Structure formats: C-alpha cells, structure tokens
Amino acid sequence: MDEEFMDIPISNVEITFRVSTVDGKQVYSAGITYSRPLPLKVYGIWALRQGIPVGILNLTQEAQPPFAECFQVLIATDERAMWGRKCPHCGGYWRTGSPGLVQTAVCCYCGGHSEAHECLSDAQRVYVEACCAIFRRVLDEKKDGQFSIAARKLLEGVEVTSFDGPPPEFFVEKSRQTKFSCVACGNHNDILGRYGYCSTCGTRNDVSMFESDIDAIRSALNGGGSPTTALKEAVDAFDTVGRNFARQLLGQVPMTPSRRAKWERANFAQLSDVAADLKSDFDISILQGVDAVDCRWANLMFHRRHLFTHKGGIVDQKYLDDSGDAAVQLGQLVRETKENVHRLLSLLVRMARNLQQGFHSIIPVHPDPVRYHQEAEARRRRSEVP
C-alpha cells in the first residue's frame, strides 16, 4: 500500500556511444555502464535516427537493423529492477520484470499482444528520443572516439517531441497497486487494480488471487469466524473471478448480440445456470471432476448464500423450490456449520481452476516462458538435493 503510485526513477546508467571510421564510413555502437549497488537488467531496441523504435536488438548475437542507419538503444530497468510498459491497444500502464523478448508482451489489462519495442512507457519513449538526439549530435562532430553521458543528464539541451505535454524532469516509472509473481512462468508484474494477465506468458492471476482469498477465509473460519460470513465471502469471491473471466471473453471472443448481452449480465452466484451456459457457449466445464453428489450440494450452498444475503437466513418458499433442501422447513432460521463451508471452499477452488483452464484453452498462454520457468525450477530443486 505504501508504494502505490510512487515515482521510481529509471536506473541512472552511463550511456556510451562509440564512433570509428572504417573505409571512409562512420561506424557506431552504443552501450551502458552501471556502478550502483542496485539490481539492473537491460534489453536493446533499434530506433530510427529521429528516435522512433522499430525493432528488438538481439544482444546475444550480431544482428542487422531492420532499416538502414538505425541506432542501438539499450533500455535499463527502473531502480526496482522492472520496466514500465504501455499497451498500444488500450493505453494501460503496468510494470514488469520481463520486457517480452521470448514471445510477444501481453497487456495485463486487455490481453493484447505487442512486440517489446511497441509497448514502451512514456518515460522510455522520451529516453529513446533523447538518446538518439545525443547520438546524432556526436555523429555530426565527425570525430572518432567514445562519448559518455549519465542518463540523468540526457534531457539537458535536448528537445523531445514524443511526449504529450511537458517533458519530465527525469525518466521515471510509476508503481501500481498489486505486485504478483506469475504462478506459471515466475515473472513479476505490478498492475493497477488486482486482477490481470501476466505480461510475459499471458496467464491470468485471478485463480491465484482467489486461492489466497480462500486461504484467508479458511483461517478466519478456523479462528472462530462466522460460517455464514465465510460462506457469503467465498461465493462473492468466486462470483468476482467468474465475472472477470466473462469480461475477458466478451473482449476477445466474437459473439452474437444476444450472447453478448447474456454474458454482460452473467451472475456466477447462480451456479447451475452459469455452469450450463459456460458449457454450451464455450465448452468450458467448471464442474469437471466434481461428482453429481457434490454438484447438487454445491448448488444447495449457493442457494443458502442467497438466503443469508437477502433473507437473513430465514427459509422462504423460493428457497425451498429452487434448492430442493428437504432438511429445513418454511420459516426456519438456517444455521450454517464450519464443516459445510470448508467442504464448499475446496469445491470452489476446483471450479475456479477448471474455469481458468477452460478460458486458456480459448485464449492460450505463451508456452515458452512457462517451459523455461519449469526447467529452471527443476534445476533448482535438483541442486537442493543433498
């Protein structure tokens, strides 16, 4: 909470630009040096001389620029070892620990894909333009040698045009609200709000957040909390996750007007209805692996949650008709038990995982970052074996 919306400067690297003359032609390359005791990561892009990013620079091998006379610009992380990103599709801003070099970067908000040079933050775009302006100035002197300048001094005497409004005093990123590590690929993300895609592999974080909520509900319940409160909180959390996935399907899957209207008003607290609609419309089975007895029982608990929320737990005829609960009578005050809620919590986690799995069968994740992370974790575990 304390770091929400804080300014985080881009690491104050020393930018170097080397010029030599070969066969009467200027040859040049860029680099950076860094001496502060803070973590730093770097990737490179190609930019036109005017400062327009046009491609990714492969730092592991010699590569040709996409256009003649492009400059190499190296982009360092901020002082928290993350890069700012701005989606070219929706304009959303986030920070990430990986720039999207293995496969295309994924917007944490809309899920749109873009190359790493296409989703630079505003600060990075100003930085790239300022670097190119300095490089042009050095080349115009027509002298061989190496020129160096600290990033903090880049804007001195340089006019930038890519920034909408007055240029910043320095290149800063902005912290967001929720930092999460992707359970699939391990990438660190910092996003506005709470739920979103991993910027590296595209895995949604809804279920991992939901499971954290369920763990908190279990702890409160085991600590003497009200089973009724726990039931309402759990179903509400499931409804939130379900509606999140519905919104993403609305944004990414073409639908007829009637189907779109149905999913715009989808209510995941109505378990039997939404489970049937997900299966018929998207072939997503949230009840996969849940036997018939547990399905009927989970549906009963969802009806009880509605009874506690809207009727104070007093049985009415609608509850009897909808739930089929033969253990209570009209006008009875239902008293929930801790054991019932714990049973439901386990079923909710299974259903949420089924929902995410079904969603990503339609909106697939990038497999390479996931595989690299799994291989790295396997190596780490092997190294820990005595």
Decide if 65 is inside a domain.
yes
**Which among 171, 194, 214 is the end of a domain?**
171
Per DSSP, the residues of 181-244 read E-TTT--EEEESSS--B-TTT--B-HHHHHHHHHHHHHHHHHTT--HHHHHHHHHHHHHHHHHH
Same domain, residue pair 131 and 226: no
Among residues 145, 148, 163, which one has the least CA distance to residue 51? Answer: 163
Structural domains counted in the chain: 2
282 and 362 Cβ atoms separated by less than 8 Å: yes
Same domain, residue pair 147 and 236: no
Decide if 195 is inside a domain.
no
Same domain, residue pair 219 and 121: no
Same domain, residue pair 235 and 166: no
124 and 132 Cβ atoms separated by less than 8 Å: no
How far does the chain reach from its first CA to its final CA, in angstroms?
40
pLDDT in tens, the chain (386 residues): 458 999 998 888 999 999 999 998 999 999 999 988 889 999 999 999 999 999 999 888 777 899 988 999 999 999 999 999 999 999 999 999 999 888 899 999 999 999 999 999 998 999 999 999 999 999 999 999 999 999 888 877 566 555 555 555 567 899 999 999 999 999 999 999 999 999 999 999 999 999 999 999 999 999 999 999 999 999 999 999 999 999 999 999 999 999 999 999 999 999 999 999 999 999 999 999 999 999 999 999 999 999 999 999 999 999 999 999 999 999 999 999 999 999 999 999 999 999 999 999 999 999 999 999 999 999 999 988 87
Same domain, residue pair 37 and 118: yes
Decide if 196 is inside a domain.
no
From residue 27, alpha-carbon distances to 17, 55, 118, 348 in Å are 11, 20, 27, 62
325 and 300 Cβ atoms separated by less than 8 Å: yes
76 and 64 Cβ atoms separated by less than 8 Å: no
Q: Rounded to two decimals, what is the model's pTM?
A: 0.92
Residue 90 backbone dihedrals phi, psi, to 5 degrees: -115, -10
172: exposed, middle or buried (Cβ count in 10 Å: 0-12, 13-18, 19+): middle
Same domain, residue pair 245 and 328: yes
Same domain, residue pair 166 and 224: no
Same domain, residue pair 82 and 155: yes
Decide if 85 is inside a domain.
yes
Decide if 47 is inside a domain.
yes
Decide if 319 is inside a domain.
yes
Decide if 211 is inside a domain.
yes
**Which among 171, 195, 217 is the end of a domain?**
171
Among residues 45, 200, 372, 9, which one has the least CA distance to residue 190? Answer: 200
Same domain, residue pair 136 and 230: no
In this prediction, residue 1 carries a pLDDT of 47
- Supply the range of the domain harboring residue 70: 8-171
Same domain, residue pair 124 and 216: no
Same domain, residue pair 127 and 249: no
Same domain, residue pair 18 and 146: yes
